[in-house]
Structure 1
Amino acid sequence: MITRILVDGDACPVVDTIVEVSAQVAISVLLFRSYDHFTYKMYPEHVHIKYIDGGRDAVDFALLHEVQHTDIVVTQDYGLASLVLNKATTVLHHTGYQYTTQNIEQLLLQRFYNQQERQATKRYGKGPKPFTHAQRQTFKASLLQILKQQTLDKSAHHDT
Protein backbone atom coordinates (compact mmCIF):
# COMPACT_ATOMS: atom_id res chain seq x y z
CA MET A 1 0.00 0.00 0.00
CA ILE A 2 1.37 3.43 -0.97
CA THR A 3 1.42 5.85 1.94
CA ARG A 4 3.36 8.84 0.56
CA ILE A 5 5.06 10.31 -2.45
CA LEU A 6 8.54 11.65 -1.68
CA VAL A 7 9.88 14.15 -4.19
CA ASP A 8 13.44 15.26 -4.83
CA GLY A 9 11.99 18.70 -5.38
CA ASP A 10 14.80 21.13 -6.19
CA ALA A 11 14.54 20.86 -9.97
CA CYS A 12 11.48 18.66 -10.36
CA PRO A 13 9.26 19.90 -13.21
CA VAL A 14 6.27 17.75 -12.20
CA VAL A 15 5.63 18.93 -8.64
CA ASP A 16 2.26 20.47 -9.58
CA THR A 17 1.26 17.26 -11.37
CA ILE A 18 2.19 15.20 -8.30
CA VAL A 19 0.19 17.54 -6.06
CA GLU A 20 -2.84 17.27 -8.37
CA VAL A 21 -2.76 13.47 -8.70
CA SER A 22 -2.04 12.85 -5.01
CA ALA A 23 -5.03 14.99 -4.02
CA GLN A 24 -7.28 12.80 -6.17
CA VAL A 25 -6.18 9.63 -4.38
CA ALA A 26 -5.65 11.07 -0.87
CA ILE A 27 -1.92 10.36 -0.59
CA SER A 28 0.41 12.77 1.17
CA VAL A 29 3.37 14.35 -0.56
CA LEU A 30 6.68 15.23 1.02
CA LEU A 31 8.83 17.64 -1.00
CA PHE A 32 12.54 17.80 -0.19
CA ARG A 33 14.19 21.08 -1.16
CA SER A 34 17.30 22.99 -0.30
CA TYR A 35 16.92 26.48 1.10
CA ASP A 36 18.28 27.71 -2.24
CA HIS A 37 14.89 26.68 -3.69
CA PHE A 38 12.74 28.24 -0.97
CA THR A 39 9.28 29.29 -2.07
CA TYR A 40 6.32 31.08 -0.54
CA LYS A 41 3.98 29.12 -2.78
CA MET A 42 1.03 27.72 -0.86
CA TYR A 43 0.33 24.01 -1.21
CA PRO A 44 -2.72 21.99 -0.12
CA GLU A 45 -2.76 20.39 3.35
CA HIS A 46 -1.60 16.99 2.08
CA VAL A 47 1.69 18.49 0.82
CA HIS A 48 4.57 19.09 3.21
CA ILE A 49 7.94 20.66 2.42
CA LYS A 50 11.18 19.77 4.14
CA TYR A 51 13.80 22.42 3.56
CA ILE A 52 17.31 21.09 3.95
CA ASP A 53 20.40 23.11 4.76
CA GLY A 54 23.78 21.77 3.86
CA GLY A 55 26.01 20.58 1.09
CA ARG A 56 25.58 19.39 -2.44
CA ASP A 57 23.82 16.10 -1.65
CA ALA A 58 22.09 17.10 1.60
CA VAL A 59 18.61 16.92 0.06
CA ASP A 60 19.34 13.45 -1.32
CA PHE A 61 20.56 12.19 2.05
CA ALA A 62 17.53 13.64 3.85
CA LEU A 63 15.18 11.90 1.42
CA LEU A 64 17.16 8.67 1.70
CA HIS A 65 16.89 8.83 5.49
CA GLU A 66 13.11 9.39 5.34
CA VAL A 67 12.07 6.85 2.68
CA GLN A 68 10.00 3.84 3.72
CA HIS A 69 9.00 0.70 1.83
CA THR A 70 5.47 2.03 1.27
CA ASP A 71 6.64 5.21 -0.50
CA ILE A 72 6.89 6.29 -4.10
CA VAL A 73 10.01 8.36 -4.77
CA VAL A 74 10.23 10.81 -7.68
CA THR A 75 13.72 11.90 -8.70
CA GLN A 76 15.74 12.61 -11.81
CA ASP A 77 18.96 11.80 -9.94
CA TYR A 78 20.19 8.34 -10.98
CA GLY A 79 22.48 8.11 -7.95
CA LEU A 80 19.65 8.79 -5.52
CA ALA A 81 17.38 6.41 -7.46
CA SER A 82 19.95 3.63 -7.10
CA LEU A 83 20.11 4.18 -3.33
CA VAL A 84 16.35 4.19 -2.71
CA LEU A 85 15.50 1.47 -5.23
CA ASN A 86 15.45 -1.30 -2.64
CA LYS A 87 13.83 0.86 0.03
CA ALA A 88 10.76 2.29 -1.77
CA THR A 89 7.80 0.61 -3.43
CA THR A 90 8.43 2.53 -6.66
CA VAL A 91 11.10 4.95 -7.90
CA LEU A 92 9.96 7.13 -10.78
CA HIS A 93 11.75 9.58 -13.08
CA HIS A 94 9.95 12.85 -13.85
CA THR A 95 9.53 11.77 -17.47
CA GLY A 96 7.48 8.79 -16.33
CA TYR A 97 9.80 5.84 -16.61
CA GLN A 98 10.35 3.64 -13.63
CA TYR A 99 13.80 2.92 -12.24
CA THR A 100 14.32 -0.79 -11.71
CA THR A 101 17.10 -3.07 -10.57
CA GLN A 102 17.30 -4.12 -14.23
CA ASN A 103 17.88 -0.63 -15.70
CA ILE A 104 19.69 1.36 -12.99
CA GLU A 105 23.17 -0.03 -13.66
CA GLN A 106 22.96 0.93 -17.35
CA LEU A 107 21.68 4.42 -16.45
CA LEU A 108 24.54 4.98 -14.00
CA LEU A 109 27.07 3.70 -16.52
CA GLN A 110 25.71 6.01 -19.22
CA ARG A 111 25.87 8.96 -16.80
CA PHE A 112 29.50 8.11 -16.04
CA TYR A 113 30.43 7.91 -19.74
CA ASN A 114 28.68 11.22 -20.45
CA GLN A 115 30.62 12.88 -17.62
CA GLN A 116 33.89 11.46 -18.95
CA GLU A 117 33.13 12.74 -22.44
CA ARG A 118 32.26 16.23 -21.19
CA GLN A 119 35.49 16.39 -19.19
CA ALA A 120 37.60 15.14 -22.08
CA THR A 121 36.12 17.48 -24.69
CA LYS A 122 35.51 20.43 -22.34
CA ARG A 123 32.13 20.77 -24.06
CA TYR A 124 29.22 21.34 -21.77
CA GLY A 125 25.68 21.59 -23.01
CA LYS A 126 23.19 24.29 -22.23
CA GLY A 127 21.33 22.05 -19.80
CA PRO A 128 18.23 19.98 -20.37
CA LYS A 129 15.73 20.85 -23.04
CA PRO A 130 12.52 22.52 -21.84
CA PHE A 131 10.06 20.09 -20.28
CA THR A 132 7.15 19.52 -22.63
CA HIS A 133 3.43 19.11 -22.10
CA ALA A 134 3.69 15.62 -23.62
CA GLN A 135 6.36 14.63 -21.08
CA ARG A 136 4.18 15.97 -18.27
CA GLN A 137 1.23 13.92 -19.54
CA THR A 138 3.40 10.80 -19.79
CA PHE A 139 4.53 11.26 -16.19
CA LYS A 140 0.96 11.80 -15.03
CA ALA A 141 -0.24 8.66 -16.81
CA SER A 142 2.63 6.62 -15.29
CA LEU A 143 1.92 7.88 -11.77
CA LEU A 144 -1.80 7.23 -12.12
CA GLN A 145 -1.12 3.73 -13.43
CA ILE A 146 1.18 2.93 -10.50
CA LEU A 147 -1.36 4.25 -8.00
CA LYS A 148 -4.20 2.37 -9.71
CA GLN A 149 -2.17 -0.86 -9.69
CA GLN A 150 -1.39 -0.43 -5.99
CA THR A 151 -5.09 0.06 -5.28
CA LEU A 152 -5.95 -3.09 -7.25
CA ASP A 153 -3.21 -5.05 -5.47
CA LYS A 154 -4.46 -3.83 -2.10
CA SER A 155 -8.08 -4.80 -2.82
CA ALA A 156 -7.02 -8.20 -4.18
CA HIS A 157 -4.95 -8.78 -1.03
CA HIS A 158 -7.95 -7.95 1.20
CA ASP A 159 -10.23 -10.25 -0.79
CA THR A 160 -8.06 -13.32 -0.15
Structure 2
Amino acid sequence: MTNVIIDGDACPVVDSVIELTQGTGISVLIMRSFSHFSTKIDPSHVQTIYVDDGPDAVDYKIVQRARTEDIVITQDYGLASLLLNQVYIVMHHKGEIYTPQTIDTLLEQRHASAQFRKSGGHTKGPSPFTKEDRAIFEQKFSTIIQTLTASEED
Protein backbone atom coordinates (compact mmCIF):
# COMPACT_ATOMS: atom_id res chain seq x y z
CA MET A 1 0.00 0.00 0.00
CA THR A 2 1.29 3.41 -0.98
CA ASN A 3 1.90 6.10 1.60
CA VAL A 4 2.76 9.72 1.00
CA ILE A 5 5.47 10.94 3.34
CA ILE A 6 5.81 14.70 3.62
CA ASP A 7 8.89 16.53 4.86
CA GLY A 8 6.46 18.79 6.66
CA ASP A 9 8.39 21.53 8.45
CA ALA A 10 8.05 24.07 5.66
CA CYS A 11 5.99 22.27 3.03
CA PRO A 12 3.35 24.52 1.44
CA VAL A 13 1.34 21.65 -0.12
CA VAL A 14 0.41 19.65 2.98
CA ASP A 15 -3.27 20.64 2.74
CA SER A 16 -3.33 19.85 -0.99
CA VAL A 17 -1.91 16.37 -0.40
CA ILE A 18 -4.40 15.68 2.39
CA GLU A 19 -7.31 16.79 0.21
CA LEU A 20 -6.17 14.92 -2.91
CA THR A 21 -5.61 11.64 -1.05
CA GLN A 22 -8.93 11.73 0.80
CA GLY A 23 -10.94 8.60 -0.05
CA THR A 24 -8.21 7.00 -2.17
CA GLY A 25 -6.94 4.48 0.38
CA ILE A 26 -3.57 6.26 0.38
CA SER A 27 -2.26 7.23 3.80
CA VAL A 28 -0.35 10.43 4.49
CA LEU A 29 2.50 10.65 6.99
CA ILE A 30 3.68 14.15 7.89
CA MET A 31 7.08 14.30 9.56
CA ARG A 32 7.79 17.48 11.53
CA SER A 33 10.19 18.67 14.18
CA PHE A 34 8.79 19.62 17.58
CA SER A 35 9.41 23.29 16.79
CA HIS A 36 6.56 23.00 14.23
CA PHE A 37 4.11 21.40 16.68
CA SER A 38 0.43 21.90 15.93
CA THR A 39 -2.75 20.97 17.77
CA LYS A 40 -4.63 20.65 14.47
CA ILE A 41 -6.55 17.37 14.26
CA ASP A 42 -5.63 15.29 11.24
CA PRO A 43 -8.19 13.44 9.10
CA SER A 44 -8.29 9.67 9.63
CA HIS A 45 -5.95 8.90 6.71
CA VAL A 46 -3.27 11.30 8.01
CA GLN A 47 -0.72 10.82 10.76
CA THR A 48 1.73 13.44 12.00
CA ILE A 49 4.93 12.35 13.69
CA TYR A 50 7.09 14.83 15.56
CA VAL A 51 10.82 14.31 15.99
CA ASP A 52 13.64 16.14 17.76
CA ASP A 53 14.62 19.59 16.57
CA GLY A 54 18.20 18.54 15.77
CA PRO A 55 19.74 19.15 12.36
CA ASP A 56 18.36 16.71 9.79
CA ALA A 57 16.37 14.76 12.43
CA VAL A 58 13.26 14.81 10.24
CA ASP A 59 15.28 13.71 7.22
CA TYR A 60 16.77 10.74 9.08
CA LYS A 61 13.34 9.65 10.29
CA ILE A 62 11.94 9.87 6.75
CA VAL A 63 14.78 7.73 5.39
CA GLN A 64 14.12 5.24 8.17
CA ARG A 65 10.36 5.04 7.51
CA ALA A 66 10.27 5.21 3.68
CA ARG A 67 9.43 2.07 1.73
CA THR A 68 9.61 1.07 -1.93
CA GLU A 69 5.97 1.92 -2.72
CA ASP A 70 5.97 5.34 -1.02
CA ILE A 71 5.88 8.85 -2.44
CA VAL A 72 8.02 11.39 -0.60
CA ILE A 73 7.51 15.13 -0.92
CA THR A 74 10.50 17.29 0.01
CA GLN A 75 12.34 20.37 -1.11
CA ASP A 76 15.57 19.06 0.44
CA TYR A 77 17.89 17.93 -2.37
CA GLY A 78 20.09 15.93 -0.02
CA LEU A 79 17.12 13.97 1.31
CA ALA A 80 15.80 13.49 -2.21
CA SER A 81 19.15 12.07 -3.33
CA LEU A 82 19.11 9.54 -0.47
CA LEU A 83 15.60 8.38 -1.34
CA LEU A 84 15.76 8.15 -5.14
CA ASN A 85 16.57 4.44 -5.17
CA GLN A 86 14.53 3.68 -2.07
CA VAL A 87 10.99 4.86 -2.89
CA TYR A 88 8.50 4.96 -5.76
CA ILE A 89 8.68 8.73 -6.37
CA VAL A 90 10.43 11.70 -4.75
CA MET A 91 8.69 14.95 -5.58
CA HIS A 92 9.34 18.64 -4.95
CA HIS A 93 6.45 20.78 -3.68
CA LYS A 94 6.50 22.69 -6.99
CA GLY A 95 5.71 19.48 -8.87
CA GLU A 96 9.16 18.44 -10.07
CA ILE A 97 9.84 14.73 -9.84
CA TYR A 98 13.45 14.14 -8.89
CA THR A 99 15.48 11.80 -11.10
CA PRO A 100 19.12 10.71 -10.88
CA GLN A 101 19.93 13.19 -13.66
CA THR A 102 18.14 16.17 -12.13
CA ILE A 103 19.35 15.52 -8.59
CA ASP A 104 23.00 15.55 -9.70
CA THR A 105 22.52 18.95 -11.33
CA LEU A 106 20.63 20.33 -8.32
CA LEU A 107 23.29 19.14 -5.88
CA GLU A 108 26.05 20.63 -8.04
CA GLN A 109 24.22 23.97 -8.17
CA ARG A 110 23.69 23.90 -4.39
CA HIS A 111 27.39 23.20 -3.84
CA ALA A 112 28.47 25.98 -6.23
CA SER A 113 26.14 28.46 -4.49
CA ALA A 114 27.50 27.45 -1.08
CA GLN A 115 31.06 27.96 -2.30
CA PHE A 116 30.14 31.36 -3.74
CA ARG A 117 28.54 32.44 -0.43
CA LYS A 118 31.52 31.10 1.51
CA SER A 119 33.79 33.37 -0.53
CA GLY A 120 31.64 36.40 0.36
CA GLY A 121 29.13 36.36 -2.49
CA HIS A 122 25.42 36.81 -2.07
CA THR A 123 22.75 34.63 -3.68
CA LYS A 124 19.00 34.95 -3.84
CA GLY A 125 16.82 32.48 -2.00
CA PRO A 126 14.13 30.44 -3.70
CA SER A 127 11.34 32.29 -5.44
CA PRO A 128 8.10 32.63 -3.48
CA PHE A 129 5.58 29.79 -3.73
CA THR A 130 2.71 30.95 -5.96
CA LYS A 131 -0.83 29.87 -6.78
CA GLU A 132 0.50 28.68 -10.12
CA ASP A 133 3.11 26.53 -8.34
CA ARG A 134 0.33 24.98 -6.24
CA ALA A 135 -1.79 24.29 -9.34
CA ILE A 136 1.16 22.61 -11.10
CA PHE A 137 1.88 20.47 -8.06
CA GLU A 138 -1.77 19.48 -7.64
CA GLN A 139 -2.10 18.53 -11.31
CA LYS A 140 1.04 16.37 -11.30
CA PHE A 141 0.26 14.82 -7.92
CA SER A 142 -3.32 14.04 -9.01
CA THR A 143 -2.00 12.25 -12.09
CA ILE A 144 0.29 10.12 -9.91
CA ILE A 145 -2.56 9.31 -7.50
CA GLN A 146 -4.88 8.37 -10.38
CA THR A 147 -2.22 6.09 -11.86
CA LEU A 148 -1.65 4.41 -8.50
CA THR A 149 -5.29 3.89 -7.68
CA ALA A 150 -6.02 2.55 -11.17
CA SER A 151 -3.15 0.03 -10.94
CA GLU A 152 -4.30 -1.10 -7.48
CA GLU A 153 -7.78 -1.79 -8.88
CA ASP A 154 -6.34 -4.12 -11.56
For 1:117, give the aligned amino acid: F
Match of 2:138 among 137, 140, 143: 140
Measure how far apart 1:5 and its partner are: 0.1
Measure how far apart 1:149 and its partner are: 2.2
Instruction: Indicate the SS of the match to 1:121.
Output: coil
For 2:134, give the aligned amino acid: R
The answer to whether the aligner puts 1:36 opposite 2:35 as a matched pair is yes
Instruction: Indicate the SS of the match to 1:6.
Output: strand
Structure 1 stretches of 4+ moved >6 Å: none
| 8 A Cα contact 2:95 2:140, kept in partner | yes
TM-score (normalizing by structure 2)? 0.93
Question: For 1:22 and 1:109, how far apart are their aligned partners in 2?
Answer: 34
Instruction: Indicate the SS of the match to 1:55.
Output: coil
Question: For 1:131 and 1:90, how far apart are their aligned partners in 2?
Answer: 21
TM-score (normalizing by structure 1)? 0.89
The answer to whether the aligner puts 1:91 opposite 2:90 as a matched pair is yes
Question: For 2:99 and 2:89, how far apart are their aligned partners in 1?
Answer: 8
Match of 2:147 among 129, 146, 149: 149
Instruction: Indicate the SS of the match to 1:103.
Output: helix
For 2:130, give the aligned amino acid: T
State the superposition RMSD in angstroms: 1.5
Identity of aligned residues (%): 44
The answer to whether the aligner puts 1:119 opposite 2:118 as a matched pair is yes
- Runs of at least 5 residues in structure 1 that lack an aligned partner in the other structure: none
Match of 2:11 in 1: 12
Question: For 2:134 and 2:11, how far apart are their aligned partners in 1?
Answer: 11
Match of 1:108 in 2: 107
* Corresponding residue pairs, total: 154
Question: For 1:103 and 1:114, how far apart are their aligned partners in 2?
Answer: 17
Instruction: Indicate the SS of the match to 1:102.
Output: helix
